[in-house]
Amino acid sequence: MEFICQPRTFLLLEDASPAMEIAHAVLKSPLNLAKKVVCHLFHGTLSDFRKEIDIIKEFAAGIGRSLELQEYSIASYYATMFAFQQWFHSSYRARQGKVLESILQRILISYTSFQKLPSNPQEIRSLLKNILQINSNLRGDIDVCGVDERNKKVLLVQLRSRDDTGGTTAKTSLVEALQELLRARSADSPYEILYLIGIWDERNIQQRSSTIRKFYQALQDYSSLKLTDFERVGERILIASKTYLQLAYGIKEILKAILEWDPTPQTAILDSVSQLTQKIQNWDDLWLAYAIASIEIQVQTLQGISNVTLLMRKSKELGIDLDHSSWTLLQKSVDEAVWRLIPHWREPGLPVYSPAEQALYLRDLLFLRAIYERHCEKREKERAR
């Protein structure tokens, strides 16, 4: 059976590579959450989160009442689902962090020739104050910075996830740090600056004209350029001595702008960076673990069937082992396992109804089993030694 239209990318299962190392570093926290969900799913402990519900939610959210009525499956389902959802979303909110900045920082470290890459706003301000010979204190924050001391080039990046939120203040804030630099930098500093504004989500590019007008209004006191000149900002424009401004929409254009500014560009890295960003943006570990755990709570509570338990039991009875020696062989063993399981799966608990989706659901359960074996079961055995 082939699943060409439903490929999966599991960062917790794929083979090691430089791109994978960066993806793991950037997404370390959400990947750890995915592992925790899978461990609870295969340990059968998703209902344990009910014990962590505080006393306020027992009456404010009706948890206490539902627990009194838990012989009714709907009441039991509510208490378990509410507790799991609260745990998951609280954990996720705490793990989001500044993922976009982290991604770009890792790309600069691994794929460009900038020698100095300060990692926080304080370090960035201190470095810029020194190399640009600035006497006053800088207050504006820069998300990502790279400095090439040999070629006297500076990259300053302001990142936003999208361009359709916030009004004038939000758009103008993107160039506040640039205003400070233009006002305070010394004319004697030999460094050239590219001030790059990157909008990660390119789908709202219709805001581009409005954004450019706000940039022009904010910077017109520091530059002799006209509004029509600012309209070319996607191509990098010189707005003052040794200072360039560029606006890029989408990760491809952001990376293109950075690599064109890199003093020693390496065209071969474009493919590597493309692979990296694909893995960072298109990974299935967390959403699939969360979705299947949520579905299995419903199936177990309302139908009294655990598809995870059935999967593990049938795999044992049929001698189905998964091949962890490589990602390619693991995928092959999972696909073969689906074929072997289908004739023996007679229970009605699968939550999807078409044969194609049932096969996909079993396949996804098997991939989650692989994550469990590699990241939960293996560690438990190591602790027991």
Which pLDDT tens digit goes with each residue over 11-36? 999 998 877 888 888 888 899 999 99
What's the CA gap between 4 and 311, in Å, rounded?
Answer: 23
What's the CA gap between 334 and 322, in Å, rounded?
Answer: 7
Domains of the chain: 18-96+284-379 (no CATH), 114-263 (3.40.1560)
Q: What is the structure's pLDDT at 119?
A: 83
CB 179 within 8 A of CB 138: no
Say yes or no to pLDDT of 165 above 60: no
CB 168 within 8 A of CB 155: no
What tens digit of pLDDT does each residue of 125-157 get? 899 989 988 877 777 778 899 999 999 999 999
Q: What is the structure's pLDDT at 303?
A: 92
Q: Taking Cα atoms as reference points, which of 37, 86, 44, 41 lies closest to residue 63?
A: 86
What's the CA gap between 221 and 224, in Å, rounded?
Answer: 8
| Mean pLDDT comparison of 213-217, 264-268, 380-384, highest-scoring range | 213-217
What tens digit of pLDDT does each residue of 116-125 get? 999 888 899 8
- Give percent of the chain with pLDDT exceeding 70: 86
- SS3 for 160? strand
Cβ-based neighbours of 176, under 8 Å, separated by 6 or more: 140, 218
| Mean pLDDT comparison of 65-69, 122-126, 357-361, highest-scoring range | 357-361
Whole-number average pLDDT of the chain:
86
What's the maximum distance between 2 C-alpha atoms anywhere in the chain?
79
Residue 60's pLDDT band (cuts 50, 70, 90)? low
The lowest-confidence range among 56-60, 82-86, 120-124, 208-212 is 56-60
CA distances from 175 to 28, 178, 298, 360 (A): 31, 5, 49, 48
Say yes or no to pLDDT of 84 above 60: yes
